[in-house]
Amino acid sequence: MNHSSFKKGTRIRVKLTNNTVFIDHFEDKKSGTVFLREKGILKTKNIKSLSIYKK
């Protein structure tokens, strides 16, 4: 996963390395860890891509 910058509360589309895709709200990112509202804590090594979700 490359560098990313999102505001807190932004709806994001997350694709994991196992090709699972889901939509969640971004909370924070610190030292290799991404915090999401619904899914909780994810390690960046397990994330293939993050993008802003727009309907």
Q: Which long-range contacts (CB under 8 A, 24 or more apart) does 29-33 make?
A: 29/4
This prediction has a pTM of 0.84
Dump pLDDT digits (tens) for 39-48.
999 999 999 9
Helix (H, G, I), strand (E, B) or coil at 45: helix
19: left (phi over 0), alpha (psi -120 to 50) or beta: left
Give CA–CA dist 22/12, Å, rounded.
8
Domain ranges of the chain: 11-52
Listed in sequence order, the residues at least 6 apart from 17 whose beta carbon sits closer than 8 Å to its beta carbon are 45, 46, 47, 48
The amino acid that residue 31 corresponds to is: S
Dump pLDDT digits (tens) for 23-36.
999 999 998 899 99
